[in-house]
Amino acid sequence: MDLELRNAAKEYLLRYGGDSFPNLFREARGAIVMDDGGREILDFTSGQMCATVGHNHPEIVKAIEEAGRRAYHLFSGMIPEVVARLAKQVATEWMPQGLTKSIFINTGAESNEAALRIAKMYTDGYEVLAVGGSWHGVTGGTSTVSFASDRKGYGVPPPGIFLFPEPHSYRPYIKGMSAEESALQCLEISLKMYDMASTGKRAAILMEPILSAGGVLVPPRSFMQALRKAADERGMLLIFDEAQTAFGRIGHRTGAEMFGVTPDIMSLSKTLGGGLPLAAAVTRPDIEQNVFEKGFSFYTSHVSDPLPATVGLAVLKVLNEERLVERSRETGAYLRNALLELQGRHEAIGDVRGEGMLLGIELVTDRETKEPALELGRITTEKCFEKGLSMNIKRRPERGSVWRIAPPLTISRQEIDRGIAILDEALTESLDIAARPSHRQSA
């Protein structure tokens, strides 16, 4: 451990929010991350939900070396051969029918900015319907349509943003209704309120097929179909933010495929780059032609860069050769069963949900009241890390205390067993701590 480097991190780095650790980190392989003390930590979040084929997969390393021999970066108007190859493969093998025109950029926020810009230019509107619990990025446009975290302190947002409640199977908004009935009723009411407030300048409906930061919420199929119908009836474009759901994470090629609903624009990022910054916005040819004729521009320093495109092709190769979409379903079922067994032993686990290898565990103080166990989540997450397991928890009173579990799709069952054992042990110890009178008084 280098204390001088730890002190340098404290002194010279701007703190950017979210989870942070006192350790520095040295390297990563597969599902294992190593800190500056040489300690191995099992990664149940694929880094920032990005390293779906595992950290530093040999094919990714090989792709970076290949780009080093050819080109990392070119003038933005020079389209590298590898970008054309990636565009063809994404369109013909991974996207729903009709989505064939891509722009390749760096981050999910950028891909969503591009999607929103396309929708506004195509419709000549500016109104966007977004969903509670959503997360689309931190840039100017995307932060205004993200509702999974604090929105205070960033100045006046642009006009035209409207909100509808997230469909929640565990905590339906309308009492006395099933989760599906509640979700559809909330959407209907929200659309009526939006129609009353609309200026007629309608642009887009934007949603993650599974809301990850909102608590790993899986909407009913009928809800997604209703969104498609609502967009069509209002002349709006439907945008799916598939940063976390595309390319096998949920056991399907995309969330659109899983729900049987094709959006007008799909934004891609995390799961395409294998840990490197690669994102895309994909749309139909008629939409692309329309905005091209109107002068659409999204000309960045790193648009169509060859290095990330080479890595993207390597990610798709690994997904195919190692059958990772199928493995996501199989390993995801194994992981879910292990979590359900854990739920049977711990009353504090109120719900286990998700699809494939994107799962959520919600902690409660009581299964009847479903009161979020926020402090228990904090303590247990810290204990997991102490014992060698990295977990990500979202703790908000209005949305619960939910672990997002998204290991690399390449993780072994032995590693899953090890992670579950650590989680079991950490939760047992944390429940004991939380039950002590001294802790309850201090909390």
Catalytically annotated residues? 135, 208, 241, 244, 270, 404
Name the pairing type of β-strands 32-35 and 25-29: antiparallel
In this structure, the number of other CB atoms found within 10 A of the CB of residue 416 comes to 20
Tokens matching residue 130 = 């977004």
- Interatomic CA distance for residues 121 and 258, integer angstroms: 29
CA distances from 230 to 163, 202, 206 (A): 14, 12, 12
Tokens matching residue 268 = 């891609």
Task: Using CB atoms within 10 Å of the CB of residue 414, give its burial: 0 to 12 exposed, 13 to 18 middle, 19+ buried.
Answer: exposed
Tokens matching residue 7 = 């002190």
- Interatomic CA distance for residues 162 and 316, integer angstroms: 36
Q: Within 13 Å, how many C-alpha atoms sit on residue 14's CB side? A: 1
Backbone angles phi, psi at 284, to 5 degrees: -85, 155
**Type and span of the H or E element at 41:** strand 40-43
CB burial readout 308-333, b (16+ within 10 A) else e? bbbbbbbbbbbbeebebbebbbebbe
CA 307 to chain CA centroid, Å, is: 23
